[in-house]
Amino acid sequence: MPAPLPLHLAVALEGAGWHPSAWRDPRARADELLTPAYWTDLVREAETGTLDFVTIEDSLGIQTTSPDGPDERLDQVRGRLDAVLVAARVAPLTRGVGVVPVATVTHTEPFHVSKAIATLDYVSGGRAGWQVRVSPRQWEAELFGRRTVPAIQGTDLDAPEAAAVLEDLFDEAADHVEVVRRLWDSWEDDAEIRDVATGRFVDRDKLHYIDFEGRWFSVRGPSIVPRPPQGQPLVTALAHRSVAYRLAAKAVDVVFVTAHDAEDAGRIVAEVRREQAAAGREDELLHVFGDLVVFLADDEHSAAERKAHLDALSDADFTSDAPVFVGTPAALADRLEDLRWAGLTGFRLRPGTLPHDLEAITRGLVPELRRRGIFRESYDASTLRGRLGLERPANRYAATTGGAR
Amino acid sequence: MSQPSQKSQTSKPRKQIHLAAHFPGVNNTTVWSDPRSGSHIEFDSFLRFAQTAERAKFDFLFLAEGLRLREQGGQIYDLDVVGRPDTFTILAALAAVTERLGLAGTINSTFNEPYEVARQFASLDHLSGGRAAWNVVTSWDAFTGENFRRGGYLAQEDRYERAKLFMRTAWELFDSWRGDEIVADKENGVFLADPGAGTFERHDAQFDIRGRFDVPRSPQGRPVIFQAGDSDEGREFAAATADAIFSRHATLEAGQAFYTDVKGRLTKYGRTPEQLLILPAATFVLADTDGEAREYAHVVRRQQVSGQTAIRFLEQLWNRDLSEYDPDGPLPDVDPVVGENTIARGRASVRMYRDPLQTAREWRELAEAKKLSIRELMIEVTGRQSFVGSPTTVADEIDDLVQRDASDGFILVPHITPDGLDDFADKVVPILQERGVFRTDYAGTTLRDHLGLAPLEVPLPARRR
Ligand SMILES: Cc1cc2nc3c(=O)[nH]c(=O)nc-3n(C[C@H](O)[C@H](O)[C@H](O)COP(=O)(O)O)c2cc1C
């Protein structure tokens, strides 16, 4: 197996951290979670570690521990801000780090998502991305009241009925992403001509109707926002199962997977690559990032204690969809190196508490990875795509110019 | 009907003027061919514009919206600036580079859903420390609807019905948190004081929704509300619900008539005249002397209305192809095509021509009387209120219009972006400040403070059924 490329590293920001009791950590800024200063400080911290990007977690509905709807708990963080707006608020105050908010596709308009992320790319100077999220929850559908989502009872998502529901939702998501991407291309890069002689501000032959017609919706275009600096901002998604790997292989640039060990990682990467080939994208770079929740400290014992203390506060052993890592930054570096050989191209770390575990990443893990020569010393490319080795894509409509519209 | 213009003491206390800046974008105000004209999409343009407005202590920055590129005669309209950023995203970014300036965004109530819009505005209000405003517009056309997955458009007569229910729903969402629910008590492990914070339910002719809103109460409680429609229903909607109107009526007579009409509608809703500000859009041309400014204004108008633009404007009323006509020649002798306007699409202004035949008659008479070519006529009839003159003259005129109740202030639209506001900030604002009719510094931190609007009352605790 060839030696892996230099490592890519992102962090996932969520409230006070990913542990439900993270807000009770002595350093947690629990009463500032809705302030711009809080988010600015976190993203700047990520930037001091020259991390590739941050994702900003979101969902349409309020945080809950129940799949059936909001719970009535008082002991966890409830309430949050729209992630795209948070990303836009921090973008002008940072220079290097990518900003990748979650936006849900199931109830939102692709036209709105497309112009929001394109604008985020403008305000960040080419550092924008988007984490696609599907909502399979009826109680979230009720916030919009325009459709119902068939209930997926129990936990067996592989049962035929549940699988069919998920498949539909992910197919719809694929259409959504396709519309967003077409809208990003609906202006050619040089469409604005400001031709004083003919009085034309744009060359309308370089603006394109996308004319998308699908099972769920049709969208005409073009966008109201000119093509963003990256051409196509980074599209990412979290995926746990085949139906989601398929969407990822078809539609995204970075997929976050939750492999529990190297063997698991190898299996998942192989599946993603197969789907990628099936989607006709084998020549394109598709990043597969491993997701890990991390609880870090200078020594093994303190890290375990930190987590045990938080667990005691919430009266439950913390579990997650992603593997949980507890230990020192150096041990985490070993783990990441190990997983890399299974074909993962990078990692997204979910700090158990903020800002503690984020600082342990930027000030502990990052120097360690640099010592090992597998992580950058500074930002080398100015755009997020550039940093991830992704080219600025050609415009899919540009080739059609020259003849009649 | 109102007092004569006076610069000296009058018995009535002098009104404080409200000033705002409109980043113009998609319309023919912007002279994009001028070498000083910058990008209309790069963030740096917005940043410079906003920072000038804030340096001048303006109340707010204003953005319009259009959700489909405009077309005429079946082709994308290419003579004006085309393209603009997403409203929420750009305003959130501007919140990072300004401290006090209000941030007003136009968001349509037809092509959106209340849960999502309420979430975005509440977030913007948090992220700006209480500076968000929402200009509720009601464009409903199927043409714009083609960009939306649900093809979501309305019958014209339903536009304010949906807007009203949309607003009421958004209200209910904003009010679903009182502002004291988050206690974040680490010791005792209590983050939230109320297990049902954010609970809402709404069933009406437009919306059938329920759940828990996830953005806690924002600094202003809800964004400041602007309205921009001009019909009787639009004015009624504004009187009932808005904090300010973005109007087209900026001249003395039209302004006073509009002002009296709209403020007169307030008592019916138990409101007082200070609770609804009238802020017309206006452009300006400044020079050292009035004469120079007039000359320059003439040049600007000719840049704004080229021969091609004049023909396109005329087509919008005539509702037919007039490309064979000479802009420097007389008006066409054919009549407008009456019926649904199909030649121009995606333009709110076209709907102003409620009786095209009558308007065409008036334009013919005007052209005849003044011996105007098509282009000259268009320059005359499409002009918005413009303040033209030396800084003193312009300050006088603005002050006069406000003191005589033609408006409560103005939303200024420079013809050069982004730096066209600088002269106004540096030369006119100090004169208004010297006269004591415009603030020398922000007195408060929120947009409601700047507009002199009382803080909202916190909703009653017994909000849940
Ligand atoms: C001064 C003014 C500005 C407007 N700005 C916008 C705008 O930015 N975006 C939009 O979609 N509609 C805009 N509109 C259109 C209105 O929202 C509304 O659709 C239209 O005026 C028809 O309503 P009415 O019959 O009450 O005038 C504007 C209207 C006026 C009068």
Q: In this structure, what are the phi and psi dihedrals at residue B227, rounded to the nearest 5 degrees? A: -135, 150
- Share of chain B residues as helix, strand and coil, in percent rounded to the nearest 5: 40, 15, 45
How big is the CA angle at A245 (ends A240 and A246), to the nearest 5 degrees? 145
Residue B404 pLDDT exceeds 70: yes
Residue B464 pLDDT exceeds 60: no
Size of interface A-B (CB pairs under 8 A): 236
- Chain B residues touching A310 at Cβ < 8 A: none
Looking at the complex, does the CB of residue A66 fall below 8 Å from at least one CB of chain B?
Answer: no
Angle between helix axes B307-318 and B374-381 (nearest 10 degrees) is: 70
Q: Which atom of ligand 1 is nearest to the CA of B137?
A: 17
- Chain B residues touching A146 at Cβ < 8 A: 113, 150
Q: SS3 string of A236-268?
A: EEEECCHHHHHHHHHHCCEEEECCCCHHHHHHH
> Tens digits of per-residue pLDDT, B17-51?
999 999 998 989 999 999 999 999 999 999 999 99
Dmax over CA atoms of chain B, in Å, equals 83
Residue nearest to atom 3 of ligand 1 (CA): B228
Question: To which residue do tokens 């602007």 refer?
Answer: B226
pTM higher than the cut 0.90: yes
Alpha helices in B290-436, H assignment, sequence order:
290-304, 307-318, 356-370, 374-381, 391-403, 422-423, 429-434
Q: Which of A164-173, B155-164, B364-373 has the lowest mean pLDDT?
A: B155-164
| Cβ contact A24:B191 at 8 Å | no
* Confidence (pLDDT) at A207: 98
SS3 A220: coil
- Chain-chain contact of A79 with B215 (C-beta, under 8 angstroms): yes
Count other Cβ atoms within 10 Å, centred on residue B59: 30
Q: Which atom of ligand 1 is nearest to the CA of B232?
A: 26
Q: CA of A38 to nearest chain B CA: how many angstroms apart?
A: 10
Distances (CA, A) of B55 to A168, B368, B411: 52, 47, 16
* Two structure tokens written together for A345: 């191209």
- Share of chain A residues as helix, strand and coil, in percent rounded to the nearest 5: 40, 15, 45
- Chain-chain contact of A201 with B82 (C-beta, under 8 angstroms): yes
Find the closest chain A residue to B92 by CA distance.
Answer: A89
Question: To which residue do tokens 């809103």 refer?
Answer: B213
**B109 touches ligand 1 (CB under 6 Å):** no
Ligand 1 centroid–CA B321 distance in Å is: 25
* Confidence (pLDDT) at A405: 38
Residue B348 pLDDT exceeds 90: no
- Chain-chain contact of B191 with A77 (C-beta, under 8 angstroms): yes
- Chain-chain contact of A36 with B129 (C-beta, under 8 angstroms): yes
Nearest to B451 by CA among B237, B236, B227, B274: B274
Looking at the complex, does the CB of residue A199 fall below 8 Å from at least one CB of chain B?
Answer: yes
Q: Mutate which of B26, B107, B230 to test ligand 1's pocket (most atoms within 8 Å of Cβ)?
A: B230
**B311 touches ligand 1 (CB under 6 Å):** no
Q: Which of A303-312, B53-62, B348-357, B456-465 has the lowest mean pLDDT?
A: B456-465
- Chain-chain contact of B151 with A60 (C-beta, under 8 angstroms): no
Question: What are the b/e assignments for B265-283, b being 16+ CB within 10 Å?
Answer: bbeeeeeeeebbbbbbbbb
> Tens digits of per-residue pLDDT, B412-440?
999 999 999 999 999 999 999 999 999 99
Closest by Cβ to B115, choosing from A144, A200, A207: A144
* Confidence (pLDDT) at B202: 96
Return per-residue pLDDT of chain A as tens, 405 residues.
555 568 999 999 999 999 999 999 999 999 999 999 999 999 999 999 999 999 999 999 999 999 889 999 999 999 999 999 999 999 999 999 999 999 999 999 999 999 999 999 999 999 999 999 999 999 999 999 988 888 776 667 778 888 899 999 999 999 999 999 999 999 999 999 999 999 999 999 999 999 999 999 999 999 999 999 999 999 999 999 889 999 999 999 999 999 999 999 999 999 999 999 999 999 999 999 999 999 999 999 999 999 999 999 999 999 999 999 999 999 999 999 999 999 999 999 999 999 999 999 999 999 999 999 999 999 989 999 999 999 999 999 997 554 433
Ligand 1 centroid–CA B68 distance in Å is: 14
**B230 touches ligand 1 (CB under 6 Å):** yes
Q: CA of A74 to nearest chain B CA: how many angstroms apart?
A: 5
Whether the bond between B418 and the residue before it is cis, its omega within 30 degrees of 0, is yes
Closest by Cβ to A74, choosing from B149, B177, B195: B195
Please state the ipTM of this predicted complex. 0.97
- Chain A residues touching B92 at Cβ < 8 A: 84-86, 88-89
| Cβ contact A191:A155 at 8 Å | no
Closest by Cβ to B190, choosing from A74, A92, A202: A74
Nearest to A250 by CA among A159, A341, A181: A181
DSSP string, B188-233: TTEEES-TTTTEEEEESSS-EEEEE--SPPPTTSS-EEEE---SHH
Residue B268 pLDDT exceeds 70: yes
Nearest to A381 by CA among A8, A91, A125, A96: A96
Ligand 1 centroid–CA B347 distance in Å is: 9
Count other Cβ atoms within 10 Å, centred on residue B369: 8
Ligand 1 centroid–CA B408 distance in Å is: 20
How big is the CA angle at A227 (ends A225 and A229), to the nearest 5 degrees? 115
Looking at the complex, does the CB of residue A116 fall below 8 Å from at least one CB of chain B?
Answer: yes
Q: Which of B77, B127, B202 would you mutate first to test chain A, the one with the most A CBs within 10 A?
A: B127
**B228 touches ligand 1 (CB under 6 Å):** yes
- Chain A residues touching B150 at Cβ < 8 A: 109, 146, 217
Looking at the complex, does the CB of residue A341 fall below 8 Å from at least one CB of chain B?
Answer: no
B186 forms bridges with which residues in the sheet?
none
Q: Which atom of ligand 1 is nearest to the CA of B108?
A: 11
- Chain-chain contact of B148 with A80 (C-beta, under 8 angstroms): no
* Confidence (pLDDT) at A153: 62
Ligand 1 centroid–CA B165 distance in Å is: 18
DSSP string, B293-324: HHHHHHHHHHHHS-HHHHHHHHHHHHTS--TT
- Chain-chain contact of A217 with B120 (C-beta, under 8 angstroms): no
Find the closest chain B residue to A192 by CA distance.
Answer: B82
Q: CA of A161 to nearest chain B CA: how many angstroms apart?
A: 26
Residue B149 pLDDT exceeds 90: no
Residue nearest to atom 14 of ligand 1 (CA): B348
Distance CA A236, CA A390 (A): 13
Residue nearest to atom 22 of ligand 1 (CA): B229
Closest by Cβ to B123, choosing from A85, A123, A194: A85
Looking at the complex, does the CB of residue A85 fall below 8 Å from at least one CB of chain B?
Answer: yes
- Chain-chain contact of A144 with B75 (C-beta, under 8 angstroms): no
Question: Which DSSP symbol is given to A270?
Answer: H
| Cβ contact A55:A101 at 8 Å | yes
pLDDT band at B1 (very low <50, low <70, confident <90, very high): very low
Q: CA of A405 to nearest chain B CA: how many angstroms apart?
A: 10
Distance CA A234, CA A99 (A): 10
Looking at the complex, does the CB of residue A209 fall below 8 Å from at least one CB of chain B?
Answer: no
Distance CA B197, CA B395 (A): 49
> Tens digits of per-residue pLDDT, B306-333?
999 999 999 999 999 999 999 999 999 9
* Two structure tokens written together for A14: 């969520």
| Cβ contact A81:B123 at 8 Å | yes
Closest by Cβ to B86, choosing from A76, A115, A221: A115
* Confidence (pLDDT) at A152: 75
Distances (CA, A) of A14 to A37, A135, A239, A279: 15, 18, 18, 32
Count other Cβ atoms within 10 Å, centred on residue B50: 26
B18 forms bridges with which residues in the sheet?
B409
**B348 touches ligand 1 (CB under 6 Å):** yes
| Cβ contact A345:A272 at 8 Å | no
